[in-house]
Each structure stands twice: as C-alpha cells, then as structure tokens.
Amino acid sequence: MQMSREELLKGLEEALDYRFTKREVLLEALTHRSFVNELRETDSRDNQRLEFFGDAVLGLLVSRRLLERFPSTGEGDLSRLRAALVDEAALAQIAEKIQLGKYLLLGRGEEKTGGRKKKSVLSDALEALVAAVYLDGGIPAAERLVDLLFGPLLETSGIDAVDRDYKTRFQELCHARHGKSPHYVLEEVSGPDHDRLFVITAHIGETFLGKGVGKSKKIAEQAAAKEALGRFEEMEKSET
C-alpha cells in the first residue's frame, strides 16, 4: 500500500526530529522548479528563494560551530573547513542520509532524468529545508537541525579537513620551491595504549622543516606540516 503525502511528510519530520507548524513552508522547501514549471496553474512556489536563504543560514550556523570546535584555528582554515562542509557533495551526502529525495515534488521531466538522486537537486533542497526550519521555528530550531545533520561531520571530518589542507599546502610549496614532495618521519611513540602520544617530523630531502606532537599520527603530521609552513613563510619574509 502506497503511503499518502501526509504520511511521507511525517516521515521526513521524524528524520529531522522537528514538527512543522507551517506545513506550507515545508512544502515550498520540497518543491523543485520543474514541478511549478510543468503545472503552471498551481499556486505552489518553488524552493529557489528558500535555497538562497538557507545558504546564508547554513553559513552562519556552521561558522559558529566551527569557531566552537576549533578555538585556535585561523580564519583561512576555518573558511576552508566551512567550504568543505557546505559544498554540494557534502550537502547531497547529508540529504541522501535522510532520504530527502523521496519527499521532493519534481516535474515529470526531472523525474525521468533521475532528479531525486542528482547532487545539485539534493543539495539545493537541503539548503531550502534548513531555511524552512528557521522560518518555522527560529534560530533555536535551525541550530538543533544543523547539529543533528552536521554534528557527525564536524566531529569526524574536521580534523581530517584541516590535516589535508596543511599537508596539501606544504606539499605545494615543496614542489614550487624544490620540485619534490615532503616526507614525514615517526620519531617517537609514548604513553599507554589508550593514551598514546606521537612525535612526527616533516622533511624535504634530508632537511628538517617541522615537528608535530599529537594524540594520533594524523594530528601530529598536521602539526608538523603547520610548523613547516610557518618556516616557509619566515623564509619568504627574510628574502623580501
């Protein structure tokens, strides 16, 4: 037996852990422009305006969480982290997790071309959904939704994103200056199994450029690459 539209929407509300007071705002967030274009007589509005607003709401709330999660991280790295968390691929991944595609109102043409699985459609709809929650329940409701949807990414991907960024920038500088990639050396491991401490150094050829200490190899490599980047910057300043 096929579920009614109302039952479907209740399923989405359960996934979001939020009950809408203004159901029309939720419906607008789920309405793709193809649906409105094909049904010209309908009073429905597509989700493009909400998508625009949701982009801003997400930027604000994710930025706030990043400031709290990484209190000592600089503006440039915070910007890159935010960009990674709210790009099309990340948003589409979250949308897929809550099965957002099955709730969308699509035109026949968009339906036939697999619109429910398109990353662009899913990411736009997720932004519109965040805006809808904000408009219906205010900042507190939107914050809870962002914590629910983005919390796991902030916890598991944040350090990796910073790590990739420092190491990528360090590698790019090494290639630009020396034409080769850096390498990392594990110098020391101390502490009990449940509380290990790693010491890693960064080198280019035989030249030492930075040392990092951390609770994991990734964190220690990140710190080593960061220190190495600082040395590069000092070298550049001394040459000017």
* Cα 215 → chain centroid: 24
Catalytic residue among 55, 110, 136, 227: 55
Whether 55 sits among the annotated catalytic residues: the reply is yes
Contact present, 199 and 187 (Cβ < 8 Å): yes
The rounded distance, in Å, linking the Cα atoms of 113 and 102 is 14
Catalytic residue among 46, 124, 127, 163: 127
Quick one: tokens of 104?
A: 């969308």
Strand order in the sheet with 183-190: 183-190, 197-204, 207-214
CA-based torsion, 11, 16, 21, 26: positive or negative: negative
3-state secondary structure of 200: strand
Whether 46 sits among the annotated catalytic residues: the reply is no
Quick one: tokens of 40?
A: 């010209």
Going by the DSSP 8-state scheme, the letter that residue 214 receives in this structure is E
The rounded distance, in Å, linking the Cα atoms of 228 and 210 is 5
Tell me which residue of 227, 62, 136, 103 sits closest to 235, measured CA to CA: 227
φ, ψ at 18 (rounded to 5°): -150, 135
> What residues does 210 pair with on adjacent strands?
202
Neighbours of 183 (CB within 10 A): 11
Catalytic positions are: 55, 127
